[in-house]
Amino acid sequence: MEILLVPHPILRQKAKKLNSVTAEDIKTANLMMKSMIKAPGVGLAANQVGILKQIVTINFEDKENNKKSNYILFNPKIIKYSQETVVMEEGCLSLPEQYADVERPKDIVLEYIDENNKTIKKQIDGYEARILQHEIDHLSGKLFVDYLSSLKRNMLIKKVKKIQNIKK
């Protein structure tokens, strides 16, 4: 699976909600997981590989809190955000080598469907909450650079275009 780079138009489109999780969706998610790990990345939304379905893969290690996680989410949605926010540096596989500080809620309550079509609801904080907010934004066609000033956003996008031209 090829990871799309900005300014690819699919990155700005909304992913469609799944009626139920099919074997095909699980196969797609597993391929996404392989692509994400190979990249290497900590999260990947289906939009980033040109698929407009609400599928997200997560694979991260938070050494600070001794937490490791690897899972797939279908139709993920954040149902509650904490008032407290945290500023952290973010990057994105669709904007290679570009990083910027982004402010996001510290904790979230997440609801999603797993590969067994079970609804999961859980509270998540820290690094994992940040990754999930970033990936769920992708499903709405939103990128982390949208939280930046237009000047900074345009600068980062131009750098990605330059990298693409060099690789051609």
Catalytic residues: 135
Cα–Cα dist 135/121, whole Å: 17
* E strand or H helix that includes residue 101: strand 95-105
CA 87 from chain centre, in angstroms, equals 17
Cα–Cα dist 52/16, whole Å: 6
Which residues contact residue 95 at a Cβ distance below 8 angstroms, ignoring those fewer than 6 apart? 5, 6, 143, 144, 145, 156, 157, 160
Cα–Cα dist 59/19, whole Å: 25
